[in-house]
Chains A and B, each alone.
Chain A
Amino acid sequence: MSDELQPVPESEPIRDPGLPEHQYRPQDVDESQARRTERQISLMFLTAAALFVAFVVAYLAIDADQTFLGWSAQNFAFGMSLGVGMLLIGVGIIQWAKKLMGDHEMIEMRHPSASSEEDRVAVMKDINAGIEESGFGRRPMIRRSLFAAMGMLGLPAIVLLRDLGPTPHSQRVTVWKKGMRLVNDVTGTPIKPSDMQVGQLVNGQPAIVYETDADGEPVLHGTELLQVKSKASIIVVRMRPEDITASKGRENWGVDGILCYSKICTHVGCPISLWEQQTHHLLCPCHQSTFDQGDNGKVIFGPADRALPQLPLGVDEEGYLIAMSDFPEIVAPSYPELARDQKKLDNKS
């Protein structure tokens, strides 16, 4: 088979009748029709002009809190006057082109995209002359050393980007530590086991999120606060103790059927928030990964792979829920060094 496809040499079944005869429009043959079209188009342009004046009037006259049929009156008036005005300009111009401008179809011949063979040869000759005269081909030392210099130029360019950010750190730890209280995410109040009913879910944070310093200013704020929250947010659930099948070593991580899990999905990090009381399943609203809180936060459906990390709970002397340690498993979405970091965590405990 040849590389190129050979067209079938056969005459066409139907002869090309050539361009059809030009059809005259009403505007071409009847000047009164043409004048009518002209008036229509001008009316569109004049209406547009009036609408733009109306825009300025609306800008000065309408207050921000006025409404019109449920829309913000400002937004409605600005958008409609501007939008309809521009639409009229556009429709008018196109109407002009279609009805009044010449509509004789023209024929233009195509030219091959390629240059002529002579031009190609001439260019190749020129390039050759350039290579010859520069000695680029004949003097490998100068060529290679130039390549070396150009290659090395890449180094500063890459190194300059080094300070875009720090190297990865502290991915395996959160602010949780032994003795830190669990507090309600909305009110910031610490949680007592007796506050929670069976089947209830409370969104929580580590106490440090709501802590204030001597001046009454929060200890954490801004970016730092968001960084803490994006790793340390928790959910606290209370189930009937018989519904919980704690795996080995986790038997004492709950308090009276109260268990605490990371709120950050192990898939891509959405905060998990849909709690099914009856089945004690927790569903991530972003990609529907589902975790079984009765079974150590294991994944039962969806794109997540790792179970939700569980926080070991205890009670302090005042009777409030506290963490007994940081998360023994890594929270938030997976990352390449996760396996290594998890081993380090395992060795520590």
Chain B
Amino acid sequence: MSSNAEYTPIEQTGVGKKAAGPVGWLDDRLGLAGVAKKNLRKVFPEHWSFMLGEIALWSFVVLLLTGVFLTFWFQPSMTEVEYHGSYLPFNGLEMSQAYKSTLDISFDVRGGLLIRQIHHWAAALFVAAMIVHMLRVFFTGAYRKPREINWLIGVGLFSLGLVEGFAGYSLPDDLLSGTGLRFVDGLIRSIPLVGSYIEFFLFGGEFPGDEIIPRLYMAHILLIPAILLGLVGAHMLLLIYHKHTQWPGPGRTEQNVVGYPMLPVYAAKAGGFFFVVFGFTAIMGALLQINPIWAYGPYNPSEVTAGSQPDWYMGFSEGLVRLMPGWETTFFNYTWSWNVFIPGVGGLTSLFVILGAWPFIEQWITGDKRDHHLLERPRNAPVRTALGVAGMTAYGVAWAAGGNDVIATQFHMDIYMLTWIFRIAFFVAPVIAFFITKRICIGLQRADANRILHGYETGVIERSPDGGFSERHAPLPAGAQFTLTAHERVPVLAAPAETDANGVAAPHSRKEKVRAWVRHRYYRDTLDKPTVEDVHHAEEHLGHLDGHPVELGDEFQGVSETGVPRVH
């Protein structure tokens, strides 16, 4: 970066020689140079985990492109027609326009099946990438101030992504998607007091009616994608405004970003990655069959196939509905279907509410109002990490329960016993996962402290004069040592004041006590990083007692599991 503001004529900037004319023309009208100056060489830090969100972004673009192609032929109509297409087993069969046109895309439009399969695989990938990206952001604390709003936008993208996926899944009007709609119909009916009204308004009458597919189509290709697109734009703008978080390391601080410039490195890497994602989904579309609607037949409310499953991302919701006991009550002359409403509507809603509220809950617990641009390793926030794993466990149990019939038949298990196992596991497994994860985190923190204070194992075994064997330790390189300690200290926790400065009982002292208790639990077992004295003491120890500094020689190829270069 040149600091001298010396004037260079535009013709002498290399590209300016040819582009000065058109660039000038545009800039006269748009004044873009000011914005471009700040952003073309914007620095982005490098780490593989920062690519996960990019997978979601690019699979969304793949969905837009393939989706446009599909709209050329798909007809969102529930009007009954007779089939006379290439798929001979259905010749003469009555079916809806929607199903017929999907069959036509699959059999009569060249490449139609491929694009349909790419579209479906990209949808599965889109949601998966969003979830993994979200987990990365969660476990590294990247949602902390000033990025809470971007986290909320992310939760919005995730929830809308699920709805968008489900709407698309319902469009072909085959037996499987119709069964999914029937489930949604039951779900809507379970909404207290107004369920029947919402059902009749949404379906345009009694289930299935002939309005739901055109309406879902509108939502699927216009309403939700438009909102998604807007949210994706806001998500990216905020990312640019805040600048990306980075992992701590030598030279990386809360005040800077270290990495490569947008132009040309990240433009190339990100742009190239779009082709990788598109190519990957295209190969999946070529080799892996997905949603073979011709195998299911047109929708018929009196038929269903055993092992009916929603797309993977709705599996947890399906599982919760399967696990719920049959509770239904009548009061005030109304029927309340808790058996459907709690797991179906409540399960989805509480997932989004918990996700959205977490940054603020954590802030309330820790009282931390500072900006954070350095990521935290999951081990250094043991309670957060353990809560995250507990949540993942609950989600995983619910998801597995969504396939309890398939598990039962594949492993020859009793379906009722299996359901009971899942019911219990849904409550017990997250608790176990919480404690195990917390212990693992603390263990890893201890291992880190060990590595700082006692160095790493060189793999060199020494025999002492009296015959004992020991492994020689050597200190980590300074950079690695620094990286291991580049996180915050555990704060000193003080009990909340019972009285204010004048000796009067402090207001809100009960609330403060609860908060102090939670804060204490949050930090209690976290291991603090070594102090200056610890390190100083350890240096002496390594130097004198172990005979350090050890001459290991330039050719030393010590074995190391710590990721430290073998030659140093």
Known: A18-B250, A222-B79. Is A337-B196 also a contact (CB below 8 A)? yes
Q: Which of B250, B304, B337 contacts A334 (CB 8 A)?
A: B337
CB distance from A72 to the nearest CB of B (A): 7
B333, A82: Cβ atoms closer than 8 Å: no
Q: Which of B250, B278, B343, B531 contacts A16 (CB 8 A)?
A: B250
Q: Decide yes or no whether B358 CB sits under 8 A from chain A.
A: no
CB distance from A105 to the nearest CB of B (A): 5
CB distance from A269 to the nearest CB of B (A): 5
Q: Decide yes or no whether A297 CB sits under 8 A from chain B.
A: no
A97, B251: Cβ atoms closer than 8 Å: no
CB distance from A195 to the nearest CB of B (A): 20
B251, A88: Cβ atoms closer than 8 Å: no
CA distance A266 to B111 in the complex (A): 42
Please encode chain B, from 395 to 439, with 1 for each CB lying within 8 Å of some chain A CB and 0 for all others: 000000000110000000001100100000000000000000000
Known: A14-B481, A80-B283, A335-B335. Is A223-B209 also a contact (CB below 8 A)? yes
A17, B300: Cβ atoms closer than 8 Å: no
- A105: nearest residue on chain B (CB-CB)? B258
Please encode chain B, from 315 to 355, with 1 for each CB lying within 8 Å of some chain A CB and 0 for all others: 00000011111111010011111011001000000000000
Q: Decide yes or no whether A5 CB sits under 8 A from chain B.
A: yes
Q: Which of B241, B274, B286, B485 contacts A90 (CB 8 A)?
A: B274
A19, B258: Cβ atoms closer than 8 Å: yes
Q: Decide yes or no whether B146 CB sits under 8 A from chain A.
A: yes
- B203: nearest residue on chain A (CB-CB)? A165
B273, A94: Cβ atoms closer than 8 Å: yes
Q: Which of B243, B415, B484, B497 contacts A108 (CB 8 A)?
A: B243
Which B475-518 residues have C-beta < 8 A from chain A? 478-479, 481-482, 484-486, 488-492, 494-497, 512, 515-516
Residue among B179, B187, B301 with the most chain A CB within 10 A? B301
Q: Which of B199, B204, B369 contacts A5 (CB 8 A)?
A: B369
B307, A285: Cβ atoms closer than 8 Å: yes
B325, A79: Cβ atoms closer than 8 Å: no
A16, B251: Cβ atoms closer than 8 Å: yes
B300, A270: Cβ atoms closer than 8 Å: no
For A101, list chain B residues within 8 Å (CB): 264-265, 268
Please encode chain B, from 98 to 111, with 1 for each CB lying within 8 Å of some chain A CB and 0 for all others: 00000000011011
Which A166-189 residues have C-beta < 8 A from chain B? 166-171, 185
A335, B208: Cβ atoms closer than 8 Å: no
For A283, list chain B residues within 8 Å (CB): 415
CB distance from A264 to the nearest CB of B (A): 8
Known: A13-B534, A226-B208, A269-B186. Is A4-B369 also a contact (CB below 8 A)? yes
A227, B206: Cβ atoms closer than 8 Å: yes
For A334, list chain B residues within 8 Å (CB): 189-190, 328, 335, 337, 340
- A222: nearest residue on chain B (CB-CB)? B80
CB distance from B80 to the nearest CB of A (A): 4
Q: Decide yes or no whether A151 CB sits under 8 A from chain B.
A: no
B258, A268: Cβ atoms closer than 8 Å: no
A287, B185: Cβ atoms closer than 8 Å: no
For B271, list chain A residues within 8 Å (CB): 93
A203, B496: Cβ atoms closer than 8 Å: no
CA distance A56 to B333 in the complex (A): 66
Which A35-56 residues have C-beta < 8 A from chain B? none
Q: Decide yes or no whether B285 CB sits under 8 A from chain A.
A: yes
CA distance A7 to B193 in the complex (A): 52
Known: A86-B279, A268-B182, A271-B301. Is A110-B258 also a contact (CB below 8 A)? no
Q: Decide yes or no whether A132 CB sits under 8 A from chain B.
A: no
CA distance A168 to B189 in the complex (A): 11
For A169, list chain B residues within 8 Å (CB): 200, 206
Known: A83-B285, A94-B269, A303-B321. Is A72-B113 also a contact (CB below 8 A)? yes
B208, A288: Cβ atoms closer than 8 Å: no
Which B146-186 residues have C-beta < 8 A from chain A? 146, 179, 182-183, 185-186
Known: A94-B273, A106-B258. Is A164-B340 also a contact (CB below 8 A)? no
CB distance from B263 to the nearest CB of A (A): 10
- A93: nearest residue on chain B (CB-CB)? B272
B283, A267: Cβ atoms closer than 8 Å: no
B306, A274: Cβ atoms closer than 8 Å: yes
Q: Decide yes or no whether A137 CB sits under 8 A from chain B.
A: no
Q: Decide yes or no whether A87 CB sits under 8 A from chain B.
A: yes
B114, A79: Cβ atoms closer than 8 Å: yes
CA distance A16 to B251 in the complex (A): 7
Apart from A10-B531, A164-B211, A221-B80, list 4 A-B contacts with CB within 8 A.
Answer: A10-B489, A169-B206, A273-B304, A285-B304
**Which 10 residue pairs are nearest across A and B when measured between Cβ atoms?**
A79-B286, A268-B186, A93-B272, A83-B282, A90-B275, A87-B279, A19-B251, A86-B279, A230-B301, A90-B276
8 contacts between A and B (CB under 8 A): A7-B370, A7-B489, A16-B250, A59-B110, A90-B279, A93-B268, A106-B1, A112-B371
Binding site for A on B (CB under 8 A): 1, 41-43, 78-80, 86, 94, 107-108, 110-111, 113-114, 117-118, 146, 179, 182-183, 185-187, 189-197, 199-211, 241-243, 250-251, 253-261, 264-265, 268-269, 271-287, 299-308, 321-328, 330, 333-337, 339-340, 343, 366-371, 373, 404-405, 415-416, 419, 452, 478-479, 481-482, 484-486, 488-492, 494-497, 512, 515-516, 529-532, 534-535
